[in-house]
Structure 1
Amino acid sequence: MSWFDQLQTFMPHGMCLLWRPELMFLHIASDALIAAAYFVIPFGIAHFVRHRIDLEPGQRSAALLFAAFIGLCGFTHVASILTLWYPFYVTEGWLKAATAAVSVATAGLVLTIVPQLLRLPSPKTLQKEIDQHRLTLAELSAARAELALRVRATEVELHQAEENFAQADSLLEAVIDTVPGLIYAKDLLGRMTMANKTTLEVIGKPWAMVQGRTDLEFQDDKRQAAAVMENDRLVLENDDAHEVEELMDHPTRGSRIFLSTKRPLHDMSGAISGIVGMSLDITDRKRMEAQLNQTSRVSAMGDMASALAHELNQPLGAISMYLEGVKIVLQRDTPVHPALKPVELAREQSMRAGDIIRRLRAFVSGGDEIRRSESVADVVDDACRLALLGSGDANIQTVIEHESRDISAVMDKIEIQQVVVNLVRNAIESTPAQGSNTITIRTGRDDQSRACISVEDTGSGFTEATRAILFEPFKSTKGTKGMGVGLSLSRTIVESHGGTIRGDTNPHIGSTFSFSLPLTPQAAVV
């Protein structure tokens, strides 16, 4: 039914009131005030929702539905006023139906948020919580201020501790660098993690070239490095301290012997993290021990030589006289007798044996010999003659070269001759039986203006045992063949004269033994 049809079908509501003014005014005034109030409330709710951005979506929807419900109620009261004159009751009914639908929806949503609203604290409760929070905040501020004071005090203590640690580290570093021994630390792979000044001096390299590297990487002698790393491995494997003598080359002092004490390092959990070690140079002590041992051995040899000289001189003299008589008889019967040469050779060997015994006895006892200025060339010539006596090897050629016959050195002639004899005899024994071989004996000056004597051969070279005798004289010569006692004795003699002895070998070329002696003042000036 259209709006105009409603006006023609129904009578106005005012007729029900008999158009009495006082009733008309009462209804009109009441509905107007209610409608005005209903129209104002939705605007307040909308303003509240707009500025309360913290509302949850359910709360916001409920507020807006409530505003729509109140607004529609206002329109129903306006419609009640209009129906007093215009009877559009159908339209008013639909308006009330819409208001009813919105009100039902609002009521249902409000029921769902009522539990939330009930949980909201009252202003008194909120004020109590605010006061409690303020008290808590004040306590937190006080605690924060106290914590700041403690932090500041702790920072001061930490700074002081850092300074103390720095001083302790500096003192410890100074002590470690002052210690004459080698102090070092390595990790599980043998890489250097710490080394004092003495260690770096022995290695001959700066810390930048040693840090984080193994002995095989920074040591020049790989054999020595491998031996050191093997000792380190035993310490880690046994998890126990280990004391061992180790050989290392010093950049200026040559080969040195160190007594190394190594211990495993453990971390906080007790696991092995590396090793720490200390090594002391005991080369001089070892040399003194070797010299004392050598002196004892030489003394015993002297006693034996005296006994041998006493027991053998007479039979050797008798043998020499007997051979001389045989030689005279053979020459009388046949001037060129085939047995003359063997007889002469036997006689020379018996005389040589007696000469060797007398020289050995003079050497070990001191005899009447004293050190004096001697011509190096003359001493070497006599020693070579003695060493070559009776050798008679057709495949060995002997060459003696003198830089000058005026080179003189302070020496004990018998002792130095003994050294040359030992070296020449060693050269003869090391040359092969086949082919042509040469032994070259040279005298002259070395680059340090010292008298130098060298013996070169074309043999097969010497062994590691011989090298040990030359470079590690404190080691026992037991088990070495041929050259053991002779070389050890030769080194003792040369070093007692203030000289040095060395040996070089090449399996394809041969061996060279050389030693030097201090020149006499006159020879050193030349």
Structure 2
Amino acid sequence: MRSDELDFHALIDFMPDSGAIRFCGRRAILVHADSMGALRKELVETLGSEIAKVVLTRYGFSCGYEDAELLAAYMHPDSLEEFILGGPRTHMFSGIAEVAPDALELDHASGRYRMSGRWRHSYEAEQHLRLFGRADEPVCWTLTGYASGFASRVLQADMICVETACEGRGDPHCAWTLMNASDCAPELAGLREYFKPLNLRDRLNLLESRVHERTRELEASEQRYRNLIEDLPEMAFALHASGRLLHLNKAARLRLGVSEARLHALRLKDLVLPDYTARATAFLKEIAARRSTTTLDLVMRDAAGLPFPVRLQVEPVLKDDRIVGYSGLALDISAQLERERELTEYARRIESREQQIQDVINEAVYILDGQGRLSFVNTRMAELLGAAPEAAIGHAVGDFMPASSAARIERDFARRIAGEAGRPFEIALSGREGSSVVLEVNSTLFVGRDVAEGVIGVARDITARRQMERELAQANRLSALGQFASGVAHEINNPLGLVSGYAEELQALLDQCTPLGDDRRLAQLRRGLATIQQQAHRCKAITANLLAFSRRQSASLETVDVGLFVAERLAFFNDAGLTRGVELAVDIAPGLPQAGTSPALLEQVLQNLIKNACDAMNGSGRIDIAARAVGEGIEIEIGDSGPGFAPGVAERVFDPFFTTKPPGKGTGLGLSICYAIINELGGRIACGNRPQGGAWFRLVLPLAEDGPGAAKHD
């Protein structure tokens, strides 16, 4: 489609000597695009975008309508199509924009017309971008007005040009559509108002009236705001950008004892205690840097000169992106701080009470968070872990216990978190001096705010229970073995007596006989009879031990000073040569209570344990003997510096006939008899390995009953 059939060069006449330009016989002028931009800027900033759009659209409509009149008079177009295309040609000839029509529909019979195209290099879009930046809506107001006016005159119908794309809002080009006003969508019908004559004075008068009305509303609103601030129960203030006071409400003036006449001479730092002046000054600088509401706790002085804590909430007042002042509140937080102190003290008392309860019941309590790390341990659990409660927080259980025990807790944690049912389980931890502590653990989900936050576990020390179970099993086993040993001993003693008696009788007969031949054979016979007698005596000693092991002795209990008794027996053992070559280290706690025991049986046990310790060290080393009060009894501990127990041995040392000595060096009954004696005396005996090396035996004797007499224990 062509828009250049009209000869525009014949319509314009340049007369620079006379300072005139004529277009279609009328005087015209050249206007710089920036000048039109300056006019646009003035209209927008003075009247607002909406009125500026009306003015420029109406201006374009008038220009387009008049140019159509001139072309009709001077050019006499041959056809309506040639005439309507004169508008785009005029725009291009005037330097307004490059116009490219792409569709034209003219239906003279129905009076329906439609035309569309593109504008490129629109001066109006360029100026808007230069002055205001990218717009949200199309900005070629003059161009759309011109197209509407030109088409309305040419087609003798109400035509409206609508811009659908615009370089002024970032589109690659401007696109427009020209249509009958009656075909416009309802939201575009209002554009027709732009083409009516504009009474700018009336518009300005209306605008001025609205400005005055809005000003009165703002003043009334400001007064209401001032009254609201003035009557606030909290202390409110306004500051100049320099920190000087501009306003204090009534509550602030009364609380601080500052009159209205005096407040303008004060600054914020003058209202706080001297220790806080530097902090107040730095606070305003911080607000200026952050440009947002900021809080700070300070201490002010009231009208009576008494200090009171406040929390400042201050925000900057901005104008043209520049801080011109500050406004804020000073909230008295005395009651809040007191409540916080009371709540803190209450929480401390609750925590202390809970800790005391947990300590009294002597259960170990732990909580694992969602990641399986310790978030709480009570005192008992901390003792078992070997760490202070605060040092355990945030760590995995594996940092404080054997890998097998940690893995058991972790498996239980995983099941609980997964929602599976759990069962009580047992773990073992290292106790005092290398002993093992057996714990029975029960756990459940730890729920906070209706959400599972971890797992809580309670561990009960069942070491004593397990020890009692082992001792009961050991006693039952010893009882059965004792009955068996008793039977064996009685069955062996009779034939053994005959063997021993006949050997003695034969020996006596040989002594009476006169040698008749080979003396060597006679001597050999005598040696054989002596060996028979020796082994018979050894067997008799073994059967005596078997009978002693099997016999349930009736011990006569006496009140014994254990400290003195142990010291005397150790001296006796040393004089008898039992501990020759061995260093004895004795540690007897002073003021030990007396025990109810049998001195003879206790001496037998001590002698056996000391002898075993010396044998374990091959006659050289150190034996530590200690006596101390424990719970409801007295504990005697004997430790040596020997090799200690091999794995699995400590659990069997009290079994009858079990020995680690070479053949012929022991019967395996000594420790079994010790175990039976201590059990008969109502005590306990245990053994284990020392952390520094060697073995230990601990026996616990019951305290003496009230009264001087001895008790009978069956």
Question: Which residue of the partner structure matches residue 549 of structure 2?
Answer: 360
1:422-433 equivalence runs, <5 A: none
SS in 1 for 2:438: strand
Match in the other structure for 2:190: 116
1:339 Cα deviation (Å)? Answer: 2.3
One-letter identity of the residue aligned with 1:440? G
Alignment counterpart, residue 280 of structure 1, candidates 460, 471, 483:
460
Kindly state the Cα deviation for residue 365 of structure 1 after the two structures are TM-superposed.
Answer: 1.9
Q: Which residue of 1 aligns with 2:281?
A: none
Q: Kindly indicate whether residue 539 of structure 2 is the aligned counterpart of residue 350 of structure 1.
A: yes
- What does residue 115 of structure 2 align with? none
Asked if residue 258 in structure 1 is aligned to residue 439 in structure 2, the reply is: yes
Q: Hey, what does 1:248 align to over in structure 2?
A: 429
- 1:375·1:407 contact (CA, 8 Å) conserved in 2? no
Seen in structure 2, the aligned counterparts of structure 1 residues 212 and 504 have a Cα distance that, compared at 3 Å, is: same
What are the residue-to-residue correspondences of 1:311-350 with 2, within 5 Å? 311-328=491-508, 334-335=522-523, 337-340=526-529, 342-350=531-539
> Which of residues 597, 600, 619 is equivalent to 1:440?
619
Q: Separation in 2 of the partners of 1:215 and 1:175?
A: 26
In 1, are the aligned partners of 2:64 and 2:150 still within 8 Å (CA)?
A: no
Q: Give the counterpart letter for 1:417 in structure 2.
A: Q
Q: Which runs of 5+ in 2 are unaligned?
A: 1-12, 16-39, 68-93, 95-142, 153-158, 162-180, 182-188, 195-202, 204-209, 222-227, 229-339, 514-521, 589-594, 629-634, 661-667, 702-714
Please show how residues 470-485 of structure 1 align to structure 2 within 5 Å.
Answer: none
Residues 329-388 of structure 1: CA distance to partner in whole angstroms, max 9, x if unpaired?
5666745645256324412322212331343245x323679787573465699998xxxx
Is 1:417 aligned to residue 604 of structure 2?
A: yes
- Please name the residue that 2:689 is paired with: 504
Determine the C-alpha separation between the residues in 2 that align with 1:198 and 1:207.
9
Contact kept? 1:500, 1:515, Cα under 8 Å: yes
Residue of structure 2 in register with 1:10 after alignment: none
Q: CA deviation at 1:278?
A: 0.5
Query: Tell me, what secondary structure is at the counterpart of 1:325?
Result: helix
Question: Corresponding residue for 2:48?
Answer: 53
Deviations along 1:60-116, one digit per CA (max 9) or x if unpaired, are 4334446879999xxxxxxxxxxxxxxxxxxxxxxxxx9xxx997672388537733
Instruction: Name the CA distance, whole Å, in 1 between partners of 2:57 and 2:573.
Output: 130
Contact 2:638–2:697 (Cα < 8 Å) also in 1: yes
**Are 1:441 and 1:453, in contact at CA under 8 Å, matched by a contact in 2?**
no
The separation in 2 between residues aligned to 1:358 and 1:383, in whole angstroms, is: 28
Q: Which residue of 1 aligns with 2:649?
A: 466
Q: Deviations over 1:471-508 (max 9, x none)?
A: xx9xxx79x965799757746756868786544389xx
Residue identity in the other structure for 2:160? T
Deviation at 1:281, TM superposition (A): 2.0
Q: Structure 1's 516 and 401: CA in aligned 2 closer, same or farther, altered over 3 A?
A: farther
Matches within 5 A, 1:82-97: none
Given the superposition, is the C-alpha separation of residues 279 and 454 from structure 1 closer, same or farther in structure 2, using an over 3 Å criterion?
closer
- SS of structure 2 residue aligned to 1:212: coil
| SS of equivalent residue, structure 2 residue 49 | coil
Distance 2:693 2:44 in 1: 111
Equivalent position amino acid for 2:538 in 1 = Q
Going from structure 1 to structure 2, the CA distance change for 1:316 and 1:414 (only over 3 Å counts) comes to farther
Checking the alignment, whether the CA contact within 8 Å between 1:204 and 1:251 is kept in structure 2 is: no
Assess if the C-alpha contact under 8 Å between 1:494 and 1:501 holds in 2.
no
| 1:292–1:444 distance in 2 versus 1, CA, 3 Å | same
Distance 1:235 1:330 in 2: 83
Larger radius of gyration: 1
Equivalents in 2 of 1:119, 1:165: separation in Å? 70
Flag the 1:402–1:49 CA change in 2: closer, same or farther, 3 A.
Answer: closer
RMSD across aligned positions (CA): 6.3
Matched to 1:227, the amino acid is: S
1: distance between equivalents of 2:677 and 2:343?
55
In 1, the alpha carbon distance for the partners of 2:148 and 2:370 equals 80
Deviations 1:19-40 (Å, cap 9, x if unpaired)?
A: xxxxxxxxxxxxxxxxxxxxxx
Query: Following the alignment from structure 2 to structure 1, what is the Cα–Cα distance between the partners of residues 444 and 527?
Result: 74
Q: Which residue in 1 is equivalent to 2:19?
A: none
**What is residue 106 of structure 2 aligned with on the other side?**
none
Aligned pairs (5 A) from 1:108-147: 108=150, 111-112=159-160, 115-118=189-192
1:182 aligns with 2:177: no
Q: Which amino acid aligns with 2:388?
A: P
CA contact (8 A) 2:446 2:455 kept: yes
* Structure 2: distance between partners of 1:116 and 1:107: 16
Task: Give the corresponding residue for 2:414.
Answer: 236
Give 3-state SS (helix, strand or coil) of 1:241's partner: coil
One-letter code of the match for 2:541? R
Quick one: distance in 1 between partners of 2:573 and 2:478? Answer: 22
Alpha-carbon distance in structure 1 between the residues aligned to 2:193 and 2:670: 111
**CA 1:514–1:288: 2 relative to 1, 3 Å:** closer
Shift of 1:184: 1.0
> Aligned partner of 1:278: which letter?
V
The amino acid of 2:554's aligned partner reads G
SS in 2 for 1:375: helix
Equivalent residue in structure 2 for 1:375, among 569, 589, 611: 569
Greater mean alpha carbon deviation, residues 240-249 or residues 287-296: 287-296
Tell me which residue corresponds to 2:394: 212
- C-alpha separation between the residues in 1 aligned to 2:481 and 2:650? 24
Amino acid at match of 1:107: G
Query: Structure 1-normalised TM-score?
Result: 0.51
Q: What CA distance in whole angstroms lies between the structure 2 residues aligned with 1:46 and 1:452? A: 104
Distance 1:192 1:169 in 2: 21
Q: Which has the higher helix share?
A: 1
Once the two structures are superposed, residues 182-214 of structure 1 have per-residue CA deviations (whole angstroms, 9 ceiling, x without a partner) of: 111224664212222321233232233211212
Residue type matched to 2:378 in 1? N
Q: Is 1:227 aligned to residue 405 of structure 2?
A: yes
Amino-acid identity (%): 17
Quote how far apart the aligned CAs of 1:463 are: 3.5
- Contact 1:185-1:194 within 8 A present in 2 as well: yes
Q: Is the 8 A contact 2:373 2:393 kept in 1?
A: yes
Structure 1 residue runs without a partner (length 5+): 4-44, 73-97, 139-144, 146-161, 385-398, 432-437, 519-526
- Cα distance in 2 for partners of 1:357, 1:339 equals 27
Q: Counterpart in 1 of 2:149?
A: 107
The alpha-carbon deviation at position 279 of structure 1 amounts to: 1.0
- After superposition, the Cα gap between the structure-2 partners of 1:51 and 1:485, relative to the gap in structure 1 and judged at 3 Å, is farther
Question: Cα deviation per residue 1:133-180 (whole Å; 9 max; x = unaligned)?
Answer: x9xxx9xxxxxx9xxxxxxxxxxxxxxxx9999899768745642324
Check conservation: 2:636, 2:700, Cα contact below 8 A. yes
Alignment match, 1:16: none
